[in-house]
């Protein structure tokens, strides 16, 4: 099920990439490299989701945790970059409320990612995994 979710996430990210690319051709608001970096990081995050799905936590914990790290970090950076692109394309392509909602999701994701790393480091130190 997570593999299918990773595939759908990748398809959604590619669709968003093509939409922003077309909008940027109409009215230049951001460098195309910014959009491409966002796509690559998003796809790497989806690959991380696939790794998490295919390597069990108890059987291969290092690989599973590496995939989770990829998924979380790249996913958070993807949402941050998409929020910045949204603000740059405001008000022609996005409303200010949409930009604020995306930034709020990015902030919550960043906070959750921070907690994930702190707890992970604590876990490895305490339980010597």
pTM score, two decimals?
0.85
The pair of structure tokens assigned to 123 is 């876990």
pLDDT at 78 over 90: yes
Which residues lie closer than 8 Å to 96 by C-beta, 6 or more apart? 90
How many domains, the chain?
A: 1
Domain of residue 59 covers 1-127
What pLDDT is recorded for position 99? 87
């Amino acid at each position: 099920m997570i593999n299918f979710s990773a595939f759908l996430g990748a398809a959604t990210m590619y669709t968003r990439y093509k939409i922003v690319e077309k909008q940027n051709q109409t009215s230049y608001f951001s460098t195309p490299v910014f959009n491409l970096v966002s796509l690559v990081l998003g796809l790497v995050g989806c690959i991380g989701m696939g790794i998490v799905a295919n390597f069990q936590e108890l059987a291969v914990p290092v690989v599973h945790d590496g995939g989770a790290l990829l998924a979380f970090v790249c996913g958070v950076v993807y949402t941050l970059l998409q929020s910045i692109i949204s603000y740059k394309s405001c008000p022609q392509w996005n409303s200010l409320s949409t930009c604020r909602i995306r930034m709020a999701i990015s902030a919550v994701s960043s906070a959750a990612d921070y907690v994930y790393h702190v707890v992970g480091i604590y876990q490895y130190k305490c339980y010597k995994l």
